[in-house]
A and B are shown apart, each in its own frame.
Chain A
């Protein structure tokens, strides 16, 4: 079923890898191999960059296209994704271990909306005319940056792909995309839709492969003008370093988090428990925004913990394709082991394991929904990104204390506060060092809202109008004129 799509997508054509190498792709629910995919490396990235560069030449079809037509193409792509929603959602499930219903409703829904959102921007990215001193006429052009390298993570393979390509294309860039080696299938399927939608050859190129080879080739490339990466903070550092060492390409990074979720005693407790639960356990805990430090005010702490355990115990684990299943597998063996190791450290460091704590089933990378209480800020599970179904619940007493503790991290991706008090809500909205703050909700993301990290959670923003700034160069044009008039 997937054989046709296991190739490298360059210039709207399908290619074998230059090295002849392939790599296997696994179903994390069964540990079985789904298929093999061509393994792109430096030589393939070079080919893709050449194609992207050519598509970006002055006078090319892509460069001379009306902005509104770029929007039309993105809308067409949205139509095609909508048409093939079922197959794409199935791929996400088989390849990424994502619950099918989630993949179909949430992931694909977000993909389609994001494409349409960016489609609308294409002809609304305004330059300005500038009232410069002197006898000059000055205006700005918002020009595409050029060839953009985009490295996609495995936790939301399609959504993250769309978050990258949609703003890049609406601004008129060309892209070389590397999907994650764990989850290349849906991205490669998108290659065929991109071609079908009518994007000119070379505008989008997709090279499946590994980080240290294909990913490094992108971030080091002398002819890539910008790199956008979503993934771990560790790799984010490598990318920025590579950009610095090579051609000072622009860098945007969307990295890890250890996001605080603060629950006050005056909050709607039912809602708070549910949001805190979903905020952590959504997609097996594999979210950069996971609310993995839950600070609960002292008077309701015990009740909150009790209800959270109850909620976590309700889970049905199993094959994510099957209806009724609520939690699928972790993405791969490496993640699986890492999570179990962090659970062990939690136990060792004195956190109270309330439920879960071990693997589940006899095959696939399943981990029991796990809740720790009595977690203290110095424990590893309170500091490191676990990226698994492991919830940490801490206790706090005062506003000042919890602000300090919430901000005491190298991360700053997201944060939330639950309270009915307007003063508290707005105090936290201002005080929390995070790119996104939710009040009385969690994980509320949409294409209209910018998203990105303070501190080591990243550089730059994706989505919203802000997200477009990362894909344009501003050019100031100044023309001498005989006489200025207001």
Chain B
């Protein structure tokens, strides 16, 4: 296994990240670091010139596991770090964003955000709590008042602002991708090619919806004229996870703003940086003050303040099922705010013996290991039909062993660190539980470096449905392979989970594909593919994987109140 341990980097501790923290990147083989205007130049230049077909394929299917392979895409230089000691490279505010202005926390507290590749502090960020949420809600409410610029704005203009935001993110794509990698640990090539691509596309997609989400006129019985208006819900609390910080932010902002809501957003304490940078772009795009407010902070404080707030009309949360329960409860106990939840999963990936084996192995690997296994939709129960089981396991182990773990800024790297120490420990805990409960550890199983939160790509064979690693969400690079005999059996086993986020089946047989896809209790079913996302397709969970849907036209429904208007008329005519 190729593991690059990270001994070179030497990050620095407290305070805003300054030029001194550059060495982590300076020693990086990719090229000389660039900043500011040069960074912008590069993000428009060669970075966008790799063959379109490939970029598109990457964006469409996330099938990026071969990115660092023989055809190295041309990526723009990473604009973090600096050869010059004159200027800081995090040249944006790390405070709370309310009313298009930057504020310290009311408590004046800050918290450190950590580089998971080194375990070192990147910088301190203002720590929002209830008082800051209150301020943000006040700003949001003011922006949402009848007669405000935001309420009176043409729907098409809301779309224009979202498109402008997409333009700005595209302009600063390399910088944002680097921030994402620095703070979250995901490989830079993925941040740049996948996350940022999907962010831009998501915003553009919802930009288009802003003047197309139609109310209806309704042939009501009697002498009445009846129509519906799709009105924004109001102040929306949005709580963002750390696994795709920018993308989840876009998933939340896109539909909320397209439909005219105002937003109080809490970003994950592990990964606040890219969201705060985007706050600058929101202001630059021209959104009126108070429309988007962004608060870095912790769940039990700032997050709880949002979910139990009496003046927040809706809360949207992406994260663990455990916290999802708390949010729904807080909504119930406070003001019955609308709730949408996108939670955990233990998604089955079913490989029939007639499947294209190369592709199935490839996709099953990708389905689990993508983003260090930190995907709610990770295919973490790989069911393989008996007659191909041994071959599949063997090839999956081979593939896992070849996975390149290391410095996420290295273009060769396929797997970076887990996001933080807590996750790191939790995953290692699951691995030992797996071994204890009798699953067969085929590779990996240990930390992959002597610092940072790296874990070896791990594969378990002979996994039984009753084992903890087959029932609980691990959220790490740990693959479970299970054996099955018949379709009926595997459907029953696949559905025997409290989760229902995603599922997949690999088969060349049309009947099997249709039967399995209709039988699986999951919000998304992929056939002969995995992790195919697009802003156009709705995403969300059955059962304890969530409430509601994000993306697609369906994703707009959570962000509007339907108002029925009925007018008495002298005489109805068809």
Chain A interface (Cβ < 8 Å from any Cβ of B): 66-69, 71-72, 75, 113, 116-117, 119-124, 126, 137, 422-423, 426-427, 429-431, 446-448, 465, 479, 481-485
Q: Which residues of A contact B159 (CB under 8 A)?
A: 116, 120
Cα-based distance from A446 to B515 in the complex (angstroms): 46
Given A426-B567, A482-B515, A113:B214 Cβ within 8 A: no
User: What distance in Å separates the Cβ of B210 from its nearest Cβ neighbour in chain A?
Assistant: 8
Q: Which residues of B contact A423 (CB under 8 A)?
A: 569-570
Per-residue interface assignment for chain B, residues 530 to 574, with 1 indicating a CB less than 8 Å from any chain A CB and 0 otherwise:
000011100000000000000001000000000000010111110
Cα-based distance from A72 to B225 in the complex (angstroms): 39
Q: Would you call A120 and B212 a contact (CB within 8 A)?
A: yes
Q: Would you call B209 and A123 a contact (CB within 8 A)?
A: no
Q: Would you call A66 and B60 a contact (CB within 8 A)?
A: yes
Chain B interface (Cβ < 8 Å from any Cβ of A): 56, 60, 155-156, 159-160, 163, 201, 204-205, 207-212, 214, 225, 510-511, 514-515, 518-519, 534-536, 553, 567, 569-573
Cα-based distance from A123 to B202 in the complex (angstroms): 11
Cα-based distance from A376 to B374 in the complex (angstroms): 77
Q: Would you call A482 and B511 a contact (CB within 8 A)?
A: yes
Cα-based distance from A137 to B211 in the complex (angstroms): 33
Cα-based distance from A47 to B108 in the complex (angstroms): 72
User: What distance in Å separates the Cβ of B565 from its nearest Cβ neighbour in chain A?
Assistant: 12
Q: Would you call A68 and B211 a contact (CB within 8 A)?
A: no
Q: Would you call A116 and B209 a contact (CB within 8 A)?
A: no
Q: Would you call A117 and B204 a contact (CB within 8 A)?
A: no
Q: Would you call A426 and B510 a contact (CB within 8 A)?
A: no
Per a CB cutoff under 8 Å, which of B156, B201, B553 touches A113?
B156
Cα-based distance from A124 to B567 in the complex (angstroms): 32
Q: Would you call A117 and B211 a contact (CB within 8 A)?
A: yes
Q: Would you call A117 and B553 a contact (CB within 8 A)?
A: no
Q: Would you call A124 and B156 a contact (CB within 8 A)?
A: no
Q: Would you call A137 and B514 a contact (CB within 8 A)?
A: yes
Cα-based distance from A335 to B209 in the complex (angstroms): 42
Q: Would you call A481 and B511 a contact (CB within 8 A)?
A: yes
- Name 19 interchain pairs, CB-CB below 8 A, sorted by A: A66-B60, A68-B204, A69-B56, A71-B204, A117-B156, A120-B159, A122-B208, A123-B208, A123-B535, A124-B208, A124-B209, A124-B553, A423-B570, A426-B567, A427-B571, A429-B225, A448-B156, A481-B518, A483-B515
Q: Would you call A123 and B536 a contact (CB within 8 A)?
A: yes
Q: Would you call A124 and B515 a contact (CB within 8 A)?
A: no
Per a CB cutoff under 8 Å, which of A67, A124, A126, A426 touches B569?
A426
Q: Would you call A126 and B553 a contact (CB within 8 A)?
A: yes
Q: Which residues of B contact A137 (CB under 8 A)?
A: 514, 518
User: What distance in Å separates the Cβ of A119 from its nearest Cβ neighbour in chain B?
Assistant: 7
Per a CB cutoff under 8 Å, which of A116, A430, A465, A483 touches B160?
A116
Q: Would you call B514 and A121 a contact (CB within 8 A)?
A: no
Which residue on chain A has the smallest CB distance to residue B211? A448
Which residue on chain B has the smallest CB distance to residue A486? B518
Those 6 A-B pairs whose CB atoms lie nearest each other, nearest first: A120-B208, A481-B514, A426-B569, A430-B573, A423-B570, A482-B511
Cα-based distance from A68 to B202 in the complex (angstroms): 10
User: What distance in Å separates the Cβ of B343 from its nearest Cβ neighbour in chain A?
Assistant: 25
Cα-based distance from A69 to B553 in the complex (angstroms): 18
Given A430-B573, A465-B212, A116:B156 Cβ within 8 A: yes
Q: Which residues of B contact A479 (CB under 8 A)?
A: 510, 514
Q: Which residues of B contact A483 (CB under 8 A)?
A: 515
Q: Would you call A120 and B209 a contact (CB within 8 A)?
A: yes
Q: Which residues of A contact B571 (CB under 8 A)?
A: 427
Q: Which residues of B contact A485 (CB under 8 A)?
A: 518-519
Q: Which residues of B contact A465 (CB under 8 A)?
A: 212, 214
Per a CB cutoff under 8 Å, which of A121, A430, A482 touches B208?
A121
Which residue on chain A has the smallest CB distance to residue B52? A69
Per a CB cutoff under 8 Å, which of B205, B212, B514, B567 touches A448?
B212
Q: Which residues of B contact A116 (CB under 8 A)?
A: 156, 159-160, 163
Q: Which residues of B contact A68 (CB under 8 A)?
A: 201, 204-205, 534-536
Q: Which residues of B contact A124 (CB under 8 A)?
A: 205, 208-209, 212, 536, 553
User: What distance in Å separates the Cβ of B517 from its nearest Cβ neighbour in chain A?
Assistant: 9
Q: Which residues of A contact B569 (CB under 8 A)?
A: 423, 426-427, 430
Cα-based distance from A426 to B572 in the complex (angstroms): 9
Q: Would you call B208 and A431 a contact (CB within 8 A)?
A: no
User: What distance in Å separates the Cβ of A200 from its nearest Cβ neighbour in chain B?
Assistant: 12
Cα-based distance from A126 to B515 in the complex (angstroms): 23
Cα-based distance from A476 to B314 in the complex (angstroms): 39
Q: Which residues of A contact B163 (CB under 8 A)?
A: 75, 116
Which residue on chain B has the smallest CB distance to residue A68? B201
Q: Which residues of B contact A447 (CB under 8 A)?
A: 156, 211
Q: Which residues of B contact A446 (CB under 8 A)?
A: 156
Cα-based distance from A426 to B204 in the complex (angstroms): 37
Cα-based distance from A465 to B536 in the complex (angstroms): 17
Cα-based distance from A405 to B247 in the complex (angstroms): 59
Which residue on chain B has the smallest CB distance to residue A120? B208
User: What distance in Å separates the Cβ of B431 from its nearest Cβ neighbour in chain A?
Assistant: 38
